[in-house]
Amino acid sequence: MKVHKSDGACRECGGQLQVVDADDATMTVLCEDCGDEYLVESDAFGDGGTMYYVGFLAEQAEGVPDEPEDIEGDSAVDEE
């Protein structure tokens, strides 16, 4: 989940942040520009923890995989 630039930017380079993980107290953000990754509090972006923290956890609860799963009988590689 991308962080709106008006809400926050990378503390190292000012680049675009993306929330990549969250637990019961913190979020892990990754800068798309410089690659810096660090922890922030759940309400780090002035939203009281309602937009990014809850939004990220909701996306995770929906079960959207990070990588496509291999579905039996639907292989991307044809077997010869």
pLDDT in tens, 24-71: 899 999 999 999 999 999 999 988 888 999 999 998 888 765 543 443
Residue type, 21: D
| DSSP symbols for 43-57 | TTTSSTTTTHHHHHH
Do the domain assignments include residue 48? yes
The count of structural domains within the chain is 1
Do the domain assignments include residue 4? no
The more confidently predicted of residues 80 and 43 is 43
Domain of 23 in residue numbering reads as 17-61
pLDDT of residue 21 exceeding 60: yes
Do the domain assignments include residue 2? no
pTM of the predicted model, to two decimals?
A: 0.73
Residue type, 8: G
Query: What phi and psi, each to the nearest 5 degrees, are found at residue 29?
Result: -115, 150
Tens-digit pLDDT profile for residues 10-19: 999 999 999 9
- The total of other beta-carbon atoms located within 10 Å of residue 34's CB is 13
- In angstroms, the CA 19 to CA 36 distance is 12
Q: What is the pLDDT of residue 69?
A: 41
Do the domain assignments include residue 31? yes
